């Protein structure tokens, strides 16, 4: 087999939209608790528990779906069928959830939304598993692989700015009652479905040339891989263990912050519309700083920028908690919030390359090239831990005395509510970052160690090629 043709940059850019498709859905489902409590009238505690169970279910579905994808080979490729199926399943489930019949009753509301949440999870896993697994065939060039993070960070920055702008600033003011109007959420789910479909179609175009047997059937056919390898990876891959602790605690913190952000703007700063403006303003700083983080990662390795950005986010959260979020002095708070978002942008965007490093480390350690298993082990544990964010929000709202009924927009609730939201928004993420910093101290994959690993793996491959050529000559 000759040298494979290099992937074009535009193909990498288009494939990055597969992650944007699933992230668009994730942005919408982030309002699941708000919608079910304020529109359907469900209990925040029970909904929080349901969301946690669904998050655990999301993690449990990763390994079998990963195996299913590995065993799939169709005329449309290995990944594209799952990418499109996942998009359609997720879009349909979101439309159903946010069009929940008003006369269904409380019990019916629990059953209806939980059923379609479970369906959403299956489709979402299809999409996200392909985003991680297909990178192994998208490009083999070490110089090109960081480009995925560049495009992904850019598109995500646009999404993070556009989504709240569409919902909070452009659409909500046109509906009577704004966020309390069920028609707003139903229409927004249709907008999300359209955005997802467009992104998924473009992503399929981007991966089409690489989604062929010659690109994913070229590994050692004698290598046997099964579910047993998952336990081996979990128990012996120290790099993956430490990365899981660092990333999952950070993910828990980020998910929790996203879950209470609407209350910070609406019931602490008392300006819900400002959330859309804030999101649109922060997009460029986050994008620029994220690009800078990727540059530093290419120069100094992935560990140092990840650790530095985690420290930066931690310091910002401490300042924000001390400063406080209120109606009269919100501007300094939002400025620090932008800086904190920039730090989070760095850690999020270099996470996928760190998972790839862990896959290389596993091959270095065990001799098995199993990036799919490494990736699904990571996502499985990551989702289980981060699933507690919604439950924490539910119990926090119950503790603050607002677990049932509507929470009025742009209205001060109480001192207890304020400090409960600030605890979720700042203190819990601070504790998560502390765990992340400690785990990174034991993360073995420095720049120097990765150079050693890559050299060793290259020597093994060359030795294997020579032995294969010798065998052919003797035959």
Query: N- to C-terminal Cα distance for the chain?
Result: 19
Asked if residue 440 is part of any domain, the answer here is yes
Residue 271 and residue 211 share a domain: no
Out of 216, 239, 265, a domain closes at 216
Residue 261 and residue 241 share a domain: yes
| The two three-digit tokens of residue 418, written as one number | 């304020």
pLDDT, tens digit, for every residue of 345-392? 888 888 877 887 887 888 788 887 777 778 778 888 777 777 778 778
Asked if residue 5 is part of any domain, the answer here is no
What is the pTM (predicted TM-score) of this model?
0.73
Residue 202 and residue 163 share a domain: yes
Residues 55-79 as b/e (b if ≥16 CB within 10 A, e otherwise) read bbbbbebbbebbbebbeeeeeebbb
Residue 144 and residue 89 share a domain: yes
Give me the DSSP letters along 10-35. HHHHHHTHHHHHHHHHHHHHTTHHHH
The domain total for the chain is: 2
Question: How confident is residue 217, by pLDDT bands cut at 50, 70 and 90?
Answer: very low
Q: With a cut of 80, say whether residue 214 has pLDDT above it.
A: no
CATH code (residue 180): 1.20.1250.20
Query: What is the model's pLDDT at position 454?
Result: 77
Q: With a cut of 70, say whether residue 296 has pLDDT above it.
A: yes
Asked if residue 386 is part of any domain, the answer here is yes
Coil/strand/helix, residue 77: strand
More confident residue, 63 or 3: 63
Residue 171 and residue 149 share a domain: yes
Task: Enter the DSSP assignment of 74.
Answer: B
Q: Report, as an integer, the average pLDDT of 417-444.
A: 93
Rounded CA separation 383/441 (Å): 23
The boundaries of the domain holding residue 22 are 12-216
Residue 106 and residue 129 share a domain: yes
Distances (CA, A) of 182 to 91, 151, 172, 176: 18, 35, 11, 10
Asked if residue 471 is part of any domain, the answer here is no
Residue 174 and residue 63 share a domain: yes
Least confident interval from 87-101, 327-341, 382-396 = 382-396
Q: With a cut of 90, say whether residue 53 has pLDDT above it.
A: no
Rounded CA separation 404/41 (Å): 7
Residue 79 and residue 56 share a domain: yes
Query: What is the model's pLDDT at position 203?
Result: 97
Q: With a cut of 60, say whether residue 288 has pLDDT above it.
A: yes
Rounded CA separation 324/165 (Å): 24
Residue 447 and residue 307 share a domain: yes
Rounded CA separation 245/432 (Å): 9
Residue 234 and residue 181 share a domain: no
Q: With a cut of 70, say whether residue 473 has pLDDT above it.
A: no
pLDDT, tens digit, for every residue of 6-36? 788 899 999 999 999 999 999 999 899 889 9
Residue 268 and residue 333 share a domain: yes
Residue 339 and residue 263 share a domain: yes
């Amino acid at each position: 087999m000759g040298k494979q043709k290099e992937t074009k940059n535009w193909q990498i850019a288009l494939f990055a939209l597969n992650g944007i498709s699933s992230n668009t859905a994730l942005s919408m489902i982030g309002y699941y608790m708000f919608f079910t409590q304020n529109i359907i009238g469900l209990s925040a505690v029970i909904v929080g528990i349901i969301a946690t169970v669904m998050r655990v279910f999301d993690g449990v579905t990763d390994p079998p779906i990963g195996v299913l994808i590995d065993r799939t080979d169709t005329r449309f490729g290995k990944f594209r069928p799952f990418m499109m199926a996942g998009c359609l399943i997720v879009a349909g489930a979101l439309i159903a959830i946010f069009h929940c019949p008003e006369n269904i009753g409380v019990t019916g509301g629990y059953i209806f939304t939980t059923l379609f949440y479970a369906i959403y999870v299956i489709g979402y896993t299809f999409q996200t598993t392909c985003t991680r697994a297909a990178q192994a065939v998208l490009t083999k060039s070490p110089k090109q692989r960081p480009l995925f993070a560049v495009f992904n960070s850019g598109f995500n920055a646009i999404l993070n700015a556009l989504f709240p702008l569409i919902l909070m600033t452009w659409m909500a003011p046109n509906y009577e009652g704004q966020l309390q109007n069920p028609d707003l959420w139903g229409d927004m789910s249709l907008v999300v479905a359209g955005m997802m479909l467009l992104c998924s179609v473009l992503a399929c175009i981007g991966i089409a040339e690489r989604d062929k047997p010659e690109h994913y059937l070229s590994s050692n056919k004698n290598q046997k891989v099964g579910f047993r390898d998952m336990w081996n990876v979990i128990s012996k891959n120290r790099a993956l263990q430490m990365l899981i602790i660092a990333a999952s605690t950070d993910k828990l913190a980020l998910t929790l912050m996203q879950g209470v952000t609407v209350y910070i703007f609406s019931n602490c700063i008392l300006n819900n519309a400002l959330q859309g403006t804030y999101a649109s303003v922060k997009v460029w700083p986050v994008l620029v700083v994220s690009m800078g983080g990727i540059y530093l990662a290419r120069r100094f390795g992935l560990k140092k920028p990840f650790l530095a950005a985690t420290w930066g986010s931690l310091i910002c959260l401490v300042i924000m908690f001390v400063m406080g979020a209120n109606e009269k002095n919100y501007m300094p708070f939002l400025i620090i919030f932008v800086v904190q978002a920039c730090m989070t942008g760095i850690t999020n965007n270099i996470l996928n390359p760190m998972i790839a490093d862990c896959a290389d480390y596993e091959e270095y350690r065990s001799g098995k090239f199993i990036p799919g298993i490494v990736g699904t082990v990571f996502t499985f544990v990551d989702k289980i831990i981060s699933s507690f964010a919604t439950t924490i929000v539910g119990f926090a709202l119950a503790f603050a005395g607002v677990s049932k009924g509507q929470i009025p927009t742009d209205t001060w609730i109480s001192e207890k509510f304020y400090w409960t939201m600030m605890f979720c928004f700042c203190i819990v993420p601070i504790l998560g970052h502390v765990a992340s910093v400690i785990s990174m101290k034991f993360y073995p994959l420095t720049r120097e160690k990765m150079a050693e690993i890559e050299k060793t793996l290259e020597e093994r491959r060359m030795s294997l090629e020579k032995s294969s050529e010798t065998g052919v000559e003797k035959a």
